[in-house]
Amino acid sequence: MNYKTTTRCIVGCLLATSASLTMAEVPESCQTVRLAEVGWTDITATTALTSEVLEGLGYETRSDTVSVPIAYAGMKNGDFDVFLGNWMPSMASISDPYIEKGQVDRVATNLEGAKYTLAVPQYVYDAGVTSIADLDKDAEKFDSQLYGIEAGNDGNMIIQNMIDDDASGLGDWELIDSSEAGMLSELKSKTRNEEWMVFLGWEPHPMNTNFDMAYLKGADSYFGPNLGGATVHTNTRSGYVQECGNVGTLLKNLQFSLEMENQIMSAIMDEGDKPREAARSWLQENPGVLDAWLEGVTTVKGEPGLPAVKEFMGVEG
């Protein structure tokens, strides 16, 4: 064999090896993605979107609904891989200890422009209750009750801290633990007769269009500035992005929007669509988001991810 032939062989072998590495299958240990949900429709929506994309890439997905503390304990213990609902700064007291100890990774910001704080129906706001400082003077009209969602939720913990601190005279008020659905059912019941209620509100969520409501000022030291202005982050169990790099690339690429989430949540809550159906329908109508989400992402077989997901969704490439 002469020098040129040997050189061609070496180059060819290197190219073949490079191609095989580039197109390598995802390790079997990474082919099932375990996602934590916490019973909030916004996270149900983003989890459904992510699951649809992952299954289009050939992954298997599993979603389990647990409380926020259990979601973090589960990531620490390796029971969950991904959680898409790290609302900050309100969830800092729960999430930061895990992240600071290296037990959970904060991978990317997936939503900006969110908000999370106490709210009232608009007729209550118009009656002069525009701030946390205004609540206690009308305690009787509110039955001295602050409505939260599920026990252990960060928002409930913040409300309880306000009560414990006697913030703005709320020391003798009561936190009502419920659920997202239970709280909204109570809000619907009370607004029929213009009864007074103060509750945990957030955006994105269809409550912002289904109810005439307003957010209260004055709780910045508890919920954060700008009426609880928030960003939402993607978290994973420690080292997951390094272990499962292809999913890691997808997670870093995922960017949601208020409009996107409001539309999908409305389909789930108002039209009765199942979360995966609502997510798939939205993606079929808005396939352009997949271009950015799937940049540098392959299928589990190592093939280009974008055309595979579009074919899975039944949209033209």
95 belongs to a structural domain: yes
9 belongs to a structural domain: no
In this prediction, residue 7 carries a pLDDT of: 44
CATH number at residue 211: 3.40.190.100
3-state secondary structure of 107: strand
In this prediction, residue 23 carries a pLDDT of: 53
CA distance 115 to 87: 9
In this prediction, residue 12 carries a pLDDT of: 46
Structure tokens given for 290: 């997949």
4 belongs to a structural domain: no
Are both 162 and 299 inside the same structural domain?
no
Phi, psi at 119, each rounded to 5°:
-140, 165
Are both 142 and 213 inside the same structural domain?
yes
18 belongs to a structural domain: no
5 belongs to a structural domain: no
For residues 105 and 239, the answer to whether their CB atoms sit within 8 Å is: yes
Residue 120: give the domain boundaries: 115-229
Number of domains in the chain: 2
Are both 134 and 196 inside the same structural domain?
yes
- Pick the last residue of a domain from 206, 229, 252: 229
Q: Count Cβ atoms within 10 A of the Cβ of residue 144 and give its class: 0-12 exposed, 13-18 middle, 19 or more buried.
A: middle
Query: Cα 241–242–245 angle (5° rounding)?
Result: 65
Are both 189 and 144 inside the same structural domain?
yes
Mark out the alpha helices in 137-179 (DSSP H runs).
139-142, 154-164
In this prediction, residue 316 carries a pLDDT of: 80
In this prediction, residue 290 carries a pLDDT of: 98
In this prediction, residue 20 carries a pLDDT of: 39
DSSP 172-200: G-EEE---HHHHHHHHHHHHHTT---EEE
Task: Please give the model's pTM, rounded to 2 decimal places.
Answer: 0.83
Are both 119 and 225 inside the same structural domain?
yes
Are both 108 and 135 inside the same structural domain?
no
Span 71-112, pLDDT tens digits = 999 999 999 999 999 999 999 999 999 999 999 999 999 999
Are both 162 and 34 inside the same structural domain?
no
Phi, psi at 59, each rounded to 5°:
-80, 155
In this prediction, residue 15 carries a pLDDT of: 41
Are both 224 and 128 inside the same structural domain?
yes
In this prediction, residue 197 carries a pLDDT of: 98
CA distance 263 to 151: 27
Span 229-239, pLDDT tens digits = 999 999 999 99
Are both 225 and 236 inside the same structural domain?
no
Are both 138 and 224 inside the same structural domain?
yes
94 belongs to a structural domain: yes
15 belongs to a structural domain: no
Are both 126 and 270 inside the same structural domain?
no
- pLDDT band of residue 192 (cuts 50, 70, 90) is very high
1 belongs to a structural domain: no
Q: Taking all residues of the chain, what is their mean pLDDT, rounded to a whole number?
A: 92
pLDDT > 70: percent of the chain: 92
CATH number at residue 44: 3.40.190.10
- Pick the last residue of a domain from 181, 205, 229: 229
In this prediction, residue 80 carries a pLDDT of: 98
Span 267-293, pLDDT tens digits = 999 999 999 999 999 999 999 999 999
- Pick the last residue of a domain from 211, 229, 247: 229
Span 132-150, pLDDT tens digits = 999 999 999 999 999 999 9
Are both 236 and 108 inside the same structural domain?
yes
- pLDDT band of residue 24 (cuts 50, 70, 90) is confident
What does the pLDDT average to over 158-168?
Answer: 97
Calculate the alpha carbon distances from 170 to 44, 163, 179, 215, 228 in Å: 32, 5, 22, 17, 19
